[in-house]
Amino acid sequence: GVVMVFDETADLRQTLYELSRFFAHESCGKCFPCQLGSQRQMEIWDRIAHDGGARGTDKQVLLDVGFTMTETSLCGLGQTAASAVLTALQRWPELAE
């Protein structure tokens, strides 16, 4: 696990993109929930952080993908890859709105 501390100037959308990019890169590709889910998370956060913001369904897709990854991935990486995204959306839902 890891603990990250931010002040009020942190760009959480950019941070979530970077975390998603890390997990997409680290996924071994053995199971589809992690392979496809981490890639999809990264694509959505890239668009939110760099290309005009969220679309109408992005938040729900991130929640659905995160739940699927957590429940069905074969290894610990896939089971925890969505944790930061799910926690952030629970605390700050406006990040993906």
Query: What digits encode the pLDDT tens for the residues 34-45?
Result: 999 999 999 999
Number of domains present in the structure of the chain: 1
User: Does 6 reside within a domain?
Assistant: no
Q: What is the pLDDT of residue 74?
A: 96
Distance CA 13, CA 85 (A): 10
User: Does 4 reside within a domain?
Assistant: no
Category of 7 on φ-ψ map: left (φ > 0), alpha (ψ -120 to 50) or beta = beta
User: Does 2 reside within a domain?
Assistant: no
Residue 72 predicted with pLDDT over 80: yes
Q: What is the pLDDT of residue 78?
A: 96
For residue 57, name the pLDDT band (cuts at 50, 70, 90): very high
User: Does 43 reside within a domain?
Assistant: yes
Q: What CATH code is carried by the domain that includes residue 88?
A: 1.20.1440.230
**In which domain, by residue range, is 83 found?**
12-96
User: Does 79 reside within a domain?
Assistant: yes
- The length of the chain is 97
User: Does 1 reside within a domain?
Assistant: no
